[in-house]
Chain A
């Protein structure tokens, strides 16, 4: 079938009886091209000292795009060839972007899954030699959940209220512009700097100890601009028509905001907060400075280092276990680090999933 299609007909001739039908490569030519290119590249790899999966994929991909473009120019003309080329480039870009994510998931599952079991999830590392198998990360899971919850309780209301100020009251006022600038700056501050700030202000100046609370404070600062920006976007999406309708019914401003603007934007605001929570759940740098190390289960985020019992968290546990392993990739602590990473990813995935569900639920509720 390819033979008839490969015959080039004179441009614009209608005598071939095709009328408006375009001359195309047909359904099978792309597959045939792919097969030929694969075979050629395989021969090339067999014949020379080229080897390895990545280079094979790269050369085969490049060869296929090249062959297809040439064929297409010859048979279909320039316009369709460019279309095919750009389509191929877009797909390639997508794959390049998705590859790291897939690899992260693949490596983490592959190396982490072995150790994850009920004992791992429900026991701490107390009186367990980290160099040997056994123990678990329950204490770190508890710590992460409590610290993230605490940070969210601090940052979510503050962020939403700030967004309400910016959208409903700011309106070009100088103070609103200053707030906007601060939010932009806060977004750009590296989290390790936030950690240093809390370390200085909370521990050195105010004299508190390292604790889960100190970590939560830093996480709240990291989270705040994320919540403000996402809530601001959502509030701005609420049409002014609705505000006017409420004002025209004699609703005062605060009532308009609480009964019309916020409910309308609720789904988006909640999604934004959940995504910010997911973002800080994996935050590591400030916790390394502020939380300290503990092998035991500690439910109290206020418990400080003075009693040798600050709260552990998943990111710090991964860091510690990696350190204990000292480069020995077969050692139990190294595997433990991967397993803890897997649990952390799943935890964050669950939070993102919840955000999606909340958004969907809020949309259908309208």
Chain B
């Protein structure tokens, strides 16, 4: 099993836990000194259906946090709470609390659009706009009122997404003319261009071949220098390779036979994959589950 990236994890272990609300020591984030998000007792509902129940976790700054678990366990649902994308689904609501640097994300006075400008998102299927490569990258800055220096922003974002050398001569061509892996890096560059603090990735490699996946994983290591990354993935090896911390979700079936997603265990990635404290986690990572 790959070791988590050196540096951040090591120094965090010595730091005292400062988040007092982390009651569940095995689920919280031991030794996490510098947090971006704190999630407390988060439940997500679609209409009357409680899709995810009582999630409590903290996300570390400039770390890569992976969320793994079987299909339907609510990991994508939780991810979409971090930038309030669930607002767009009619009937979706949350209870509990998510704070972003101490600010309640779901407070009535919070503007979801402002939230999304700080917390970017990359989707499962590459979804470039049917516009030129340049316009794809420039879209975010333009929407956010940037008029000058767009050329530099585009170049910098493409360089950070390791795509510049491949597309620098065809910036005017359609984003849809690129290959799947390139499209996904274009989408990452598009997200980087608005200079968010956090990048949410919802199974960013599930539609890509292994070579394109490896490129994106390399890219994520580099991006973690500047960004906080939360990634949802079905691929346990990927979580082990890229993440500092891993949250394992699963779905419980209640008395009425309704499935609810739950956070089972949240810890340093090395811990989760070598000495998980929960039987269900162990079963899942060793392949004895579903």
CA distance A247 to B88 in the complex (A): 9
| B140 x A263 contact (CB < 8 A) | no
Interface stretch of the complex, out of B28-36, B41-49, B127-135, B274-282: B127-135
| B90 x A171 contact (CB < 8 A) | yes
Among B123, B143, B176, B191, max chain A CB count under 10 A is at: B143
Say whether, besides A241-B123, A241-B125, A250 and B131 are in contact (CB < 8 Å). no
A245 CB within 8 Å of chain B: yes
Q: Give which listed residue, B88, B120, B194, contacts A244 with CB less than 8 A.
A: B88
CA distance A295 to B113 in the complex (A): 61
A43 CB within 8 Å of chain B: no
A249 CB within 8 Å of chain B: yes
B190 CB within 8 Å of chain A: yes
| B85 x A244 contact (CB < 8 A) | yes
Which of chain A's residues have a CB closer than 8 A to the CB of B131? 263, 366
- Name the interface size band of chain B: 20 to 34
Total A-B residue contacts, Cβ distance less than 8 Å: 69
The B-contacting residues of A in range 305-352, CB under 8 angstroms, are: none
Closest to A241 in B: B127
Closest to B144 in A: A250
B254 CB within 8 Å of chain A: no
Shortest distance from the beta carbon of B127 to any chain A beta carbon, whole Å: 4
B187 CB within 8 Å of chain A: yes
Closest to B122 in A: A248
CA distance A171 to B187 in the complex (A): 28
Closest to B132 in A: A366
Closest to A264 in B: B130
The A-contacting residues of B in range 136-184, CB under 8 angstroms, are: 139-140, 143-144, 174, 176
| B143 x A242 contact (CB < 8 A) | no
A246 CB within 8 Å of chain B: yes
Among B121, B125, B130, max chain A CB count under 10 A is at: B130
The A-contacting residues of B in range 191-218, CB under 8 angstroms, are: 191, 194
CA distance A260 to B136 in the complex (A): 10
| A250 x B194 contact (CB < 8 A) | yes
Say whether, besides A366-B174, A366-B176, A249 and B139 are in contact (CB < 8 Å). yes
| B129 x A242 contact (CB < 8 A) | yes
A interface footprint on B218-252 (CB within 8 Å = 1, 0 otherwise): 00000000000000000000000000000000000
State the main secondary structure of chain A at its contact with B: helix
CA distance A263 to B174 in the complex (A): 14
| B113 x A250 contact (CB < 8 A) | yes
B interface footprint on A240-279 (CB within 8 Å = 1, 0 otherwise): 0111111111111001000110011000000000000000
CA distance A260 to B129 in the complex (A): 7
| B85 x A248 contact (CB < 8 A) | yes
| B143 x A263 contact (CB < 8 A) | no
A239 CB within 8 Å of chain B: yes
A172 CB within 8 Å of chain B: yes
| B139 x A246 contact (CB < 8 A) | yes
Closest to B130 in A: A366
B117 CB within 8 Å of chain A: yes
Say whether, besides A255-B143, A259-B143, A366-B174, A249 and B130 are in contact (CB < 8 Å). no
| B130 x A250 contact (CB < 8 A) | no
Closest to A173 in B: B90
Closest to A260 in B: B129
Shortest distance from the beta carbon of A159 to any chain B beta carbon, whole Å: 23
Which of chain B's residues have a CB closer than 8 A to the CB of A255? 143
Closest to A256 in B: B143
CA distance A260 to B125 in the complex (A): 17
Which of chain A's residues have a CB closer than 8 A to the CB of B129? 242, 245-246, 260, 264
Among A239, A243, A250, max chain B CB count under 10 A is at: A250
B255 CB within 8 Å of chain A: no
CA distance A201 to B280 in the complex (A): 73
Q: Give which listed residue, A171, A239, A247, contacts B116 with CB less than 8 A.
A: A247
Which of chain B's residues have a CB closer than 8 A to the CB of A366? 130-131, 174, 176
| A245 x B116 contact (CB < 8 A) | no
Which of chain B's residues have a CB closer than 8 A to the CB of A244? 85, 88, 121, 123, 127
| B123 x A250 contact (CB < 8 A) | no
Which of chain B's residues have a CB closer than 8 A to the CB of A249? 116-117, 120, 139-140, 143, 190-191, 194
CA distance A7 to B117 in the complex (A): 79
The B-contacting residues of A in range 215-248, CB under 8 angstroms, are: 239, 241-248
Among B85, B113, B194, max chain A CB count under 10 A is at: B113
B83 CB within 8 Å of chain A: yes
Shortest distance from the beta carbon of B202 to any chain A beta carbon, whole Å: 10
Which of chain B's residues have a CB closer than 8 A to the CB of A250? 113-114, 116-117, 140, 143-144, 194
The A-contacting residues of B in range 85-128, CB under 8 angstroms, are: 85, 88, 90, 113-114, 116-117, 120-121, 123, 125, 127-128
Closest to B128 in A: A245
Shortest distance from the beta carbon of B272 to any chain A beta carbon, whole Å: 28
Which of chain B's residues have a CB closer than 8 A to the CB of A241? 123, 125, 127
17 A-B contacts (beta carbon < 8 Å): A242-B130, A244-B88, A244-B121, A244-B127, A247-B85, A247-B116, A249-B139, A249-B190, A249-B194, A250-B114, A250-B117, A251-B143, A252-B113, A259-B139, A264-B130, A366-B130, A366-B131
Q: Which residues of B contact A (CB under 8 A)?
A: 83, 85, 88, 90, 113-114, 116-117, 120-121, 123, 125, 127-131, 139-140, 143-144, 174, 176, 187, 190-191, 194
Given contacts A242-B127, A247-B116, A366-B130, 18 further A-B contacts (CB under 8 A): A239-B127, A241-B125, A244-B121, A244-B123, A245-B123, A245-B129, A247-B88, A248-B121, A248-B191, A249-B139, A249-B140, A249-B143, A250-B113, A250-B194, A251-B113, A251-B143, A259-B139, A366-B174
